[in-house]
Structure 1
Amino acid sequence: MAATMNMGVPYTLGRARSSLIHFGLGKVAAALTGLVLLLVLVRALAPRDYGAYVALLAFLEIFYLLTGWGLSTIAQRYVAEYRVKASPGRFRTFILRLLALRLALALGFVALIAGVALAGLEQGWIAREGPVAALGGPLLGGTVALLVAGVMVRFLDELFAALLMQGATQGLLFLRNAVRLAALVALMGGGPVALHALVLLEALVQLGSVVLGAGLLAGHLHSNAVSGGDPHYANPRLASVSLRFFLVQALGQLYGADILKLLTTRLLGVTQTAVFGFAQAFADIIRSYLPAYLLTGWIRPLLVARYVERRDTAELAWLAGLALKLNLFVLAPVAVFFALDGRAFAALLSGGRYGDAGAMLFWLVLLVAVQSVHLVLGLVAVTLERAGANIVATLLAGLALPFALVLAPRFGLPGVAWSLIGGELLWCATVALSLARHGLLPLQVLVGGWLRLLVATGAAYLLTTALLPGPAVGGWALLGHGLLAGASFLTLAAGLKPFTGRERDVLGKVLPLRWWFW
């Protein structure tokens, strides 16, 4: 009985609302500091050095995914389940083992990479000159520290999300951005910032975040223990399901943005990588910080806890569909604005250095829209422990890599973006059809809302184009164009009503809005 009563206690509506408030407020602060940091960074580094820095961060993301061996899936899917069903002692042991294993994997693989880099320098495989080569030579120590610390920061973030510790996630993110920004401004006082100084700064910031994050996690586990639960709880499917989803993640690197950044460095040079990296960084800010996208990360542990308790796939599909509509709803006016004035906006933000990123901003916002579909479908598949469709979808989406090899030399960076979008569309179509075929995703319900959003987006673009005399010149004109694009979309969407009555009722209660017109 105690175990039954314990189910769902850590994931009550009150805790969920508190977590939502924390990450809403925290993300606003982190978004502002992150945007300012990006603007300072693109001015502080030479394009070649910034391109090398972008390549390093892309490698870090690939390194994190390829060395996880299913631990990310465990954090996303099984931490919430163990929190609901296991005793406090069992749950703490479970979390500590996950952390220890993640650190051991990071150290082992980084030692392997360092050995290969040193051998490459000695044997001549790695050139001793150039910004990218420096990461495997003079900057090897900083690169190694950054890889290990970066892995642990990302894994702690996944654990925090599963535990509804959004205040900790956003607080640490804000602190990292603030420290980076202050240090970068100080370094700029002595002239142009060198790549090695930035790498060492990033490594120190990540190491400090790991220490603080570990302390916050320990305090949370100590003060938020819930009575009851099974002291010997174990899910026999944990290892097999997690490893299958790890295979999906590993194969997914074949068509991901990070591998294509490294490919861009090889095919188009580090200067074009800098343009790609600037556009991608801004698209990531949009993807990570808009409230609708945040709901997906906030809702994941709630979906798992609710599904574990009730095994109700209809409710799971409804909640996932709501999160997806919100993502697309917020991204639509942004896409309209970038279609109108992407180049002028990119030139203004980068101080004239990366105006060519304007076209990429539009294509990358479309990519973010498709990635939001990927995210929600992946969330449903992980919750239902269905990795088979994901594996097939990822293999098909891997066709994006050969397309990029063909399109990038001919069309430049837009060709890279088209390859990314094509790969994501293949993935989403395969998984959606698989889930629908098994009755786990009511596509006809979702598609109706999507079509209304698509019609509103296209109509808003046509209306805004008709009302404006031409491209924006200057910051105030860009602001006016953006406001007009947003107002046009919201007005048209209010008439088309892409959200159902039930969805509007829920949004009016959860979000700080008393009226939801759409």
Structure 2
Amino acid sequence: MIYSKHRFKKAVYHFLVGKMVQSGASLVLLLLLVRVLNLEAYGIYVTIYGMVEFLFVASSFGLMQAPLRFIPEIITNGKKPDFQRFIITLFSLRVFSLVIISTILFFNVTSLALWLNISHNYHNALYLGILLIFLIFVFRFSATILEAQMEQKEAQLLRALGPLLRVGLIIIALFYYSTGEFTLTDALLIDVLVFFILVLLTSYRCYIWTKNRELGEKQSFQFGQVWLFMRDISGVNLLRSFGTMGSVTLIIASTLGVMEAGLFVFIQQLVNKSLRKKMPSVMFRNLIMPMLVSRYKKTGNSEKVQRVANLLMLLNLIPVGIGITLAVSQGDKLIELLSGGKYLDAGWFLMLFIIILGAKSQGSVLEMLMMIFDKTKWLFYTSIIMSITAPVVYLTSQFGLLSVIITLLFMVYLQNILRFIILRQYLPHLGVAYTTLIRLAIAIFISAATSLFINNFYIACVIGIMTYLVMLVVIKPISKTEFELFKNMGIGRSLKIFQLITQK
């Protein structure tokens, strides 16, 4: 059985190792690029990737979520011809939509460059950016199909290979250009080459698994529900795209300039690469969602789904606490050190981004629940909030970068509150206990206060983190029944370390 406890346990191992490698390599890549590119080139580079992230959400049309939602159901209850038809249809639609988007962008490069305040010397870089958009989207789609089939070993290996190859090729290029300057064009050419290789590899593995996957002769799959799902999710994604960091980056570049966009993205990516990949709801989403869909559709029991969601939301708060501890006590020094002295006095930005990350991680759990329980219409309605993020950010950007970040924080929390209220009607015990939240807040306060007055940066960071970890062992935020969920999912040994912060 593809979604058995045994395969799930193996998938968790490959998933964790792959995410750790990917997270580490991506962080090295971020710190490397901010040093080797000048401020303007780095600002344009991250603006191009902002366009990638904006269009990735806006143009997904539900095609990214459909594999995670329906592949487990087809494999569990469907037939092989239905499975193959599903994969081929979605893959064809994805490529067709990307060809149209890339063509439109290609013929509007000059207008796009003017809107983004990109100087004439860098206009040609946008052509590489358009090619990069196509390759990245195809790669991510293929990797998602592998993940939905619980082929985590291959999917995570290929995902981790991307930043590793990019770092390696940049280092080789730096040796080659030892007497010259590493340019924006060089960075984009390396990215195009790497993602072209990854597209070939992931597409080939998708073809092999689609061709060879063995399914029993079960009931026919009703494709009508796929189109209804994609219709609702398309609206959700289109609205949500205006609240993504990608769209905000584009607005900052057009109003405050590409250098301010560079600062915004550097801190946001620093938080993402160092913390986001370690957020349980992010790490386990593509792994747990197929499993929960399979179990829920088979038994109709929503209680276990609710308990898993509560546990994910609780675990999300633990890495956020570490981030806030460091940001409060050593934020300015941390940003200055990691940016090679290019960005100063940005500690407040760091702390706000960590809080936003925590809110978005909890929001991803709520979104997952709405998709599992087929509440996609409510998902669409609440996503309308994010559609007004872009115009609100545009209006507040005249007051500076800090006002933009505060606006983002407010919009994310507003959306989460509405979704939580809706889900509580169906899942009455959804959420983290107030007593647990208070205990975690106390742990963060004590840890930050302990390291705040230590002059040595490195010692202060170590003491702050160690104090926080000790406080977790003392307050024990995880209950015994919550830890039992790990064992029931077959991953108790993999996450045995959580026993230290589990109540007896």
State TM-score, norm by structure 2.
0.91
1:4 match: none
1:342 is matched with 331
Identify which of 245, 250, 263 aligns with 1:257.
Answer: 245
User: 1:517 — aligned with what?
Assistant: 501
Equivalent residues in 2 for 1:338-487 (5 A)?
A: 338-410=327-399, 412-437=400-425, 439-443=426-430, 446-448=431-433, 451-468=434-451, 470=453, 472-473=455-456, 477-478=457-458, 480-487=459-466
For structure 2, list consecutive stretches of 5 or more residues without a partner in the other structure: none
Structure 1 residue matching 2:222: 3-state secondary structure:
coil
Q: Any residues of structure 2 matched to 1:303-314 within 5 Å, and which?
A: 303-314=292-303
Give the superposition deviation at 1:154: 1.6
Tell which has more relative contact order, 1 or 2 (C-alpha 8 A, sep 6+): 2
Structure 1 residue aligned with 2:45: 53
Question: Would the alpha carbon gap of residues 447 and 431 (structure 1) be closer, same or farther in structure 2, given more than 3 Å must change?
Answer: same
Matches within 5 A, 1:92-103: 92-103=84-95
Q: Structure 1 residues 265 and 356, CA, compared in 2 at 3 Å: closer, same or farther?
A: farther
Contact 1:252 1:398 in 2 (8 A): yes
Conservation of the 8 A alpha-carbon contact between 1:73 and 1:246: no
**1:151-230 matched pairs, under 5 angstroms:** 151-189=137-175, 190=177, 191-230=180-219
Could you tell me how far apart the structure 2 residues matched to 1:132 and 1:511 are? 51
Q: Which amino acid aligns with 1:145?
A: L
Question: Following TM superposition, by how much is the alpha carbon of 1:392 offset from its aligned partner in structure 2, in angstroms?
Answer: 2.3
Alignment-derived partner of residue 272 in structure 1: 260
User: In 2, are the aligned partners of 1:49 and 1:131 still within 8 Å (CA)?
Assistant: no
Equivalenced residue count is: 493
Whether the 8 Å CA contact 1:347–1:355 is kept in 2: the answer is yes
Q: How does 1:8-23 map to 2 (within 5 A)?
A: 9-23=1-15
Give the distance between the partners of 1:82 and 1:214, measured in 2 at CA: 20
Report deviation, 1:61. 1.5
Give 2:501's aligned amino acid: F
- Pick closer, same or farther for the CA change 1:495–1:471 going to 2, 3 Å: closer
- The code of the aligned residue for 1:502 comes to T
* RMSD over equivalenced CA pairs, Å: 2.3
- The answer as to whether partners of 2:325 and 2:445 remain within 8 angstroms in 1 is no
TM-superposed CA distance for 1:179, in Å, is 1.5
Aligned-pair CA distance for 1:484? 2.7
- For residue 492 of structure 1, what is the amino acid of its counterpart? M
Distance 1:213 1:299, change over 3 A: same
User: Is the contact made by 2:18 and 2:160 (CA closer than 8 Å) also made in structure 1?
Assistant: yes
- Which one-letter code corresponds to 1:186 in the other structure? I
Q: In structure 2, how many angstroms separate the alpha carbons of the residues matched to 1:226 and 1:56?
A: 42
Instruction: Label 1:466 to 1:65 Cα distance change in 2 as closer, same or farther (>3 A).
Output: closer
What SS is found at the alignment partner of 1:11? coil
Residues 161 and 355 (structure 1), Cα distance of their counterparts in 2 relative to 1, 3 Å cut:
farther
**Which SS does the other structure have where 2:108 is aligned?**
helix
Once the two structures are TM-superposed, the CA of residue 131 in structure 1 deviates from its matched residue by 4.0
Residue equivalent to 1:286 = 274
TM-score by length of 1: 0.89
**Helix, strand or coil at the partner of 1:193:** coil
CA 1:109 to 1:441, structure 2 compared with 1: closer, same or farther past 3 Å?
Answer: farther
User: In structure 1, which of residues 25, 33, 47 is the aligned counterpart of residue 25 of structure 2?
Assistant: 33
Counterpart residue type for residue 435 of structure 1: L
Task: Say if 1:65 and 1:250, in contact at 8 Å, map to a contact too.
Answer: yes
Identity %: 20
Match of 1:233 in 2: 221
Aligned residue for 1:3?
none
State the Cα distance separating 1:163 from its structure 2 match: 1.5
Q: Provide, for residues 191-246 of structure 1, a one-character-per-residue CA deviation record: whole Å limited to 9, x for no partner.
A: 3221122222211211111001112222333454233334x422422211221111
- Aligned residues of 2:279 and 2:361 also touching (Cα < 8 A): no
Unaligned stretches of 5+ in structure 1? 1-8
Cα gap change, 1:79 to 1:365, in 2 (>3 Å):
same
Supply the distance in 1 between the matched residues of 2:34 and 2:494 (Cα, whole angstroms): 35
Structure 2: how far apart are the matches of 1:389 and 1:128? 34
